[in-house]
Structure 1
Amino acid sequence: MERLSLSNAAFEGDNNAYLFADGSETALIDTGDWMAATRRQLEAALSEHDLTPADIDRIFLTHWHHDHCGLAGEIQAESGAEVYVHAADAALVADDEDAWNEMYDRQQRYFEEWGMPEDERAVLIDLMTDAETTVETPTVTSFEDGETFTVNGTDLEVVHTSGHAAGLCMFEAEMDGERQVFSGDALLPVYTPNVGGADVRVDRPLEKYLRALQGIVDAEYDRAWPGHREPIDDPAARAQYIIDHHEERSWRVLDALDRLGPCDTWTVSADLFGDLEDIHILHGPGESYAHLEHLEREGTVVRDGTEYRLADGVAAELDDIEGERWPLEY
């Protein structure tokens, strides 16, 4: 297996695609985005193994986001490669019009519920419209959690890690005598993956993501190969760090409601993140919503229309908590 680093203008850092070419077939985990520069980088990396995109037999996608699946259709058109993705993301990768319309409609409902101002909403809609591009659409084969694929003698077991995206999956493998995992955007070495905004189809996004992270902690993998940047040598520690990060963020959400009184999601987001630009106009309130929704189900926060407030007695309880975390249940 070889990690192929592919450029990406997004804040997460360069994308990774993973090449399996040490046997009778050639396979990729993720492809990078659809940009011409990414295509050239992929071709250059493949050429070092005397390969071209036409030699790819199978593609395994971690999720539907375009920076991970953008070249899947082009490669399939040239090689006939089979493209695999979790069933929850299959329709989006296959560019199903009904699935995309459902996504857009849900985004619009959330923008309204979150209290996103019209100006910021217009900026975000323009950004998402500009990001739309004509790419080769692949025919996909869907899989489910727990399925196993064998690539040149290496078993890749699907581990569904919904949260950042509905169909986000990792691929667990035994390699070089170690338990390793291709973690996609479930576990990144620098940034904490967005929940709530990155895929508005996910119900209970924070709960699902925290469970996925706890699964990574419990698995005690020896190494993680993420969707962006460098490998992670202690995946359990990184996953625990992100769990702790979300506990601290929940404390900050409660503190904001304590100081500001009843307010909507956009107001909480502004208190947490300040002024937002570009895609963060979606990610900031999305993450705030994920925490507010989770705290509401815990009974710590009460929702009234589009506004949230602390439940009775919580303000006094906050004063008794030492440190800067709220004990999240999941």
Structure 2
Amino acid sequence: MEWTEPGAFEVAPGVYRIPLPLPNDGLHTVNVYAIDDGDGLVLIDSGWALDAAETALESALGTLGHGFEDIRRFLVTHVHRDHYTMAVALRRRFGTKIALGAGEQPSLAKVIARARVGQIRNLTTWGAPHLADKWRAVVASTGEDELRDFEEPDEWLDETDLALEKRVLRVLPTPGHTRGHVVFVDADSSLLFAGDHVLPHITPSIGFEPARPALPLGDYLDSLRLVRDYPDLRLLPAHGPVTESSHARVDELLAHHEDRLTATLEAVRAGTGTAFETARNLGWTRRNRKFAELDLFNQVLATGETAAHLDVLAHRGLLTTDEREGVTIYSIR
């Protein structure tokens, strides 16, 4: 069975994976996890606030003998809309509590305040002013209804042990994909609710957020090593099928980024200077697609991710940086 098929699938005693549809998204589906907890449910992530996703979630909960009113709490791994906004929509109707990683406060504040120009400034710094202009038009066309999908949570989560009725979840901050991303570790059941931090088939985007930190890839690599220090856990990802070894996938992701760092360094050695120029000289996705073949959104992601790799190389002392008319130029040390 494809992991995107709708329904509620038991992945551990009392834990159910519920795939929900995404719009115009290469990922197609996001996994929400429903945890049986006494006479109600706790949900890890919530899905995108879409009619189709709401219908699918209601149907899946119905097969478990529950409805929306039985959701006691949403524990959200990060603030991206495919994880967060359904929780906001259902809270407005049912009063369900929402918890989110404390590190998401700066980005969420910018979204709520409609201060969404950070990525535009970054694109200029990365040597892609034409992408900045196109992205400015995308931001300007975003409807107010979409922006109203975001509100503050009821609770900000730091690293702690979260006691539910039937289990204890360790809240583990894992910045990288976003600065406030968290995962939830159920040590007694050997489960890792990984959000987008560890995905079985793809690598998550790095640093695409309104309040981008100084070294998002460095944060991500540190967070991968943190998860690797835990015992090997069953991997319950937000996108993709459940797999049996968090260690195996973390090792693959660490190796992938070291390979990517090497390729990025070689591109600069061959003569690229800006993040945009470097991104154009690298292959993208598992199909090794050319940069020019990507759509606007993925070109923006690719440029930002290349900048994240270049900044790690500079942090390691392998590159130098120079600011020229507001553009960062990278050179071999």
Q: TM-score, normalised by structure 1?
A: 0.85
Decide whether aligned partners of structure 1 residues 32 and 94 sit closer, same or farther in structure 2, where only a CA change above 3 A counts: farther
* Cα offset, 1:219, TM superposition: 1.1
Q: Where do 1:21-100 residues align within 5 Å?
A: 21-90=36-105, 97-98=112-113, 100=114
SS in 1 for 2:154: strand
Match for 2:176 among 160, 163, 167?
163
Decide whether aligned partners of structure 1 residues 93 and 296 sit closer, same or farther in structure 2, where only a CA change above 3 A counts: closer
Q: Give 1:322's aligned residue.
A: none
Moved more, 41-50 or 7-16: 7-16
AA aligned opposite 2:233: D
Q: Residues of 2 paired with 1:50 and 1:93: CA distance? A: 34
Q: Residues of 2 paired with 1:48 and 1:131: CA distance? A: 36
* Cα offset, 1:164, TM superposition: 0.7
Aligned length: 304
Deviations 1:95-132 (A, max 9, x none): 8633x41xx232122111011142x3333334445555
Q: Residues of 1 paired with 2:330 and 2:52: CA distance? A: 45
Match for 1:142 among 155, 162, 184?
155
SS in 2 for 1:26: strand
Give the root-mean-square deviation of aligned CA atoms.
Answer: 2.1
Q: Give 2:9's aligned residue.
A: none
Moved more, 139-148 or 86-95: 86-95
Match for 1:271 among 257, 281, 295?
281
SS in 1 for 2:118: helix
Decide whether aligned partners of structure 1 residues 134 and 114 sit closer, same or farther in structure 2, where only a CA change above 3 A counts: closer
* Cα offset, 1:139, TM superposition: 4.7
Q: Give 1:298's aligned residue.
A: 316
SS in 1 for 2:40: coil
Would the aligned equivalents of 2:100 and 2:155 in 1 still touch at CA under 8 Å? yes
Q: TM-score, normalised by structure 2?
A: 0.85
Q: Give 2:6's aligned residue.
A: none
Q: Residues of 2 paired with 1:131 and 1:221: CA distance? A: 42
Unaligned runs of 5+ in 2: 1-14, 284-290
Would the aligned equivalents of 1:24 and 1:152 in 2 still touch at CA under 8 Å? no
Indicate the percent of aligned positions where both proteins have the same amino acid: 26
* Cα offset, 1:278, TM superposition: 3.2
Unaligned runs of 5+ in 1: 312-330
* Cα offset, 1:80, TM superposition: 1.1
Is 1:173 equivalent to 2:180 in the alignment? no
Is 1:192 equivalent to 2:214 in the alignment? no
Q: Residues of 1 paired with 2:315 and 2:107: CA distance? A: 29
Decide whether aligned partners of structure 1 residues 4 and 130 sit closer, same or farther in structure 2, where only a CA change above 3 A counts: farther
AA aligned opposite 2:220: Y
Moved more, 28-37 or 131-140: 131-140
AA aligned opposite 2:299: I
Deviations 1:277-301 (A, max 9, x none): 1321221011110011111111110
Q: Give 2:287's aligned residue.
A: none
Decide whether aligned partners of structure 1 residues 78 and 13 sit closer, same or farther in structure 2, where only a CA change above 3 A counts: same
Q: Residues of 1 paired with 2:211 and 2:305: CA distance? A: 10
SS in 2 for 1:70: helix
Is 1:309 equivalent to 2:323 in the alignment? no
* Cα offset, 1:91, TM superposition: 6.1
